[in-house]
């Protein structure tokens, strides 16, 4: 990590001092603890998830989404764990529990944010399936956590919704740079701090930190981003698909990195066009799972 980035993170941590980062929910900790064992008990993991009705429903709904591209419908949590494996199901559970961690985040802005986050996660999983760079379940979790700093920014800055909307529609700068100019920090730095506090894998944290950064990370050689290259590229592609289906103009970072990302992932121009069409079709069918479960 560069010295400048370290200074920015230290500044962000100082600004957010006193703003509580929600702890990881107990259900998630139980699943992750079992996953960390030398020989995880798949039946025990299934039982842990099944104890929470909303969590179980959320897992099945997401896994059965056409964005995951499974050939057969998953009918039970036992089936999901056997089919996806411990790591895959843990990724989905991690993503779902993000929303439940912010129990006091009910507002029109936050309702829209969670809905948009679910759509971005779905598009990122579609990008992963099309490129084969990472697993769709991993991509879903990364897509949902990419903007996890937003709820924390709202806790610190009451006028953040206005700044967030302006940043998202900025024409000549990235959303993160716009926020930093207005507030002295941005949701990527705050989100990274949360990701580290939740002990997310480092590639996840790097995606949170760097997803608005227009620097050419896909040809760089820094050690701290080597493992983050594939998920970060998939996230950029997922963000592009999301903006397409939301009828938003391409982002500043996509204008800079789009061709590089596609080349990195081996996605030819005609394949990108087909993928955009698939994303539009699935979105129109209402197939994208949202992130509103469990609560």
pLDDT, tens digit, 9 for 90 and up, residues 245-261? 998 888 888 888 899 99
Q: How many CA atoms are closer than 13 Å to the CA of 63, on its beta-carbon side?
A: 26
98: domain CATH number is 1.10.3210.10
Residue 30 maps to a domain: yes
Confidence of residue 169 (pLDDT cuts 50, 70, 90): confident
The Cα 183–Cα 177 span in angstroms is 10
Q: How confident is the model at residue 295 (pLDDT cuts 50, 70, 90)?
A: very low
Question: Residue 292 domain-assigned?
Answer: no
Per-residue exposure over 100-109, b if at least 16 CB sit within 10 Å of its own CB, e if not: bbbeebeeeb
The verdict on residue 293 lying in a domain is no
Mean pLDDT of 114-134: 92
Q: Could you give the number of structural domains in the chain?
A: 1
Give domain status of residue 289, yes or no.
no
Query: Tokens for 2?
Result: 């560069």
Kindly indicate the confidence band of residue 272, based on its pLDDT and cuts at 50, 70 and 90.
Answer: very high
Assigned domain for 254 exists: yes
Query: Distance between CA atoms of 53 and 74, rounded to whole angstroms?
Result: 16
Across residues 36-52, what is the average pLDDT?
A: 91
Q: Is 50:89 a contact under the CB 8 Å cutoff? A: no
Residue with the two structure tokens 């290259």: 229
Is there a domain that residue 52 lies in? yes
Asked if the model's pLDDT at residue 168 lies above 80, the reply is: yes
Distance CA 284, CA 169 (A): 23
Task: In whole angstroms, give the CA distance from residue 237 to residue 242.
Answer: 9
Q: What is the pLDDT of residues 274-285, one digit of tens each?
A: 999 999 988 887
Q: What confidence score (pLDDT) does residue 249 get? A: 85
pLDDT of residue 152: 92
Burial bucket for residue 64 (CB in 10 Å: 0-12, 13-18, 19+): middle
pLDDT for the residue numbered 84:
83
| Helical axes 175-183 vs 160-168, angle rounded to 10° | 150
Share of the chain above pLDDT 70, in %: 89
Q: What percent of the chain has pLDDT over 90?
A: 45
User: Residue 104: pLDDT above 80?
Assistant: no
Averaged pLDDT of the chain: 86
pLDDT at 250: 85
For the segment 111-121, the average pLDDT, to the nearest whole number, is 91
**CB burial readout 280-293, b (16+ within 10 A) else e:** eebbeeeebbbbbb
| pTM listed for this prediction | 0.88
Q: Encode pLDDT of 180-228 as tens digits.
A: 999 999 999 999 999 999 999 888 998 999 888 756 566 655 555 567 8
What's residue 217's pLDDT? Answer: 66
Cβ atoms of residues 161 and 271 within 8 Å: no
pLDDT given for residue 288 in this prediction: 60
Contact 244, 274 (CB under 8 A): no
- Domain assignment present for 295: no
What band does 151 get if pLDDT is binned at 50, 70 and 90? very high
Mean local confidence (pLDDT), 221-238? 79
* Residue 202 domain flag: yes
Provide the pLDDT for residue 286: 63
Task: Name the residue range of residue 120's domain.
Answer: 3-284
pLDDT for residue 216: 57
């Amino acid at each position: 990590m560069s010295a400048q980035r370290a200074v920015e993170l230290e500044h962000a941590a100082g600004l957010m001092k006193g703003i509580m980062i929600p702890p990881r929910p107990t259900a998630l900790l139980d699943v992750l603890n079992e996953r960390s064992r030398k020989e995880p008990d798949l039946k025990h993991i299934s039982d842990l998830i099944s104890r929470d009705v909303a969590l179980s429903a959320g897992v099945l709904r997401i896994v059965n989404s056409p964005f995951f591209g499974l050939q057969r419908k998953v009918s039970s949590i036992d089936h999901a764990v056997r089919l996806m494996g411990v790591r895959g199901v843990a990724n989905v559970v991690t993503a779902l529990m993000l929303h439940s961690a912010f129990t006091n985040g009910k507002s029109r802005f936050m309702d829209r944010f969670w809905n948009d986050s679910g759509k971005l996660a779905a598009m990122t999983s579609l990008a992963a399936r099309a490129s084969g760079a990472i697993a769709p379940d991993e991509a879903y979790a990364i897509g949902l956590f990419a903007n996890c700093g937003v709820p924390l920014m709202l806790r610190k800055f009451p006028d953040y919704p206005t700044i967030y909307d302006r940043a998202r529609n900025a024409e000549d700068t990235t959303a993160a740079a716009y926020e930093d100019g207005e507030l002295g920090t941005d949701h990527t730095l705050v989100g990274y701090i949360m990701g580290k506090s939740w002990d997310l894998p480092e590639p996840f944290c790097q995606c949170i930190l760097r997803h608005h950064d227009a620097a050419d990370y896909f040809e760089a050689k820094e050690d701290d981003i080597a493992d983050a290259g594939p998920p970060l590229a998939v996230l950029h592609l997922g963000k592009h698909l999301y903006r397409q289906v939301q009828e938003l103009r391409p982002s500043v970072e996509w204008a800079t990195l789009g061709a590089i990302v596609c080349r990195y992932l081996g996605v030819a121009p005609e394949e990108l066009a087909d993928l955009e069409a698939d994303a539009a079709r699935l979105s129109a069918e209402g197939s994208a799972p949202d992130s509103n479960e469990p609560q």
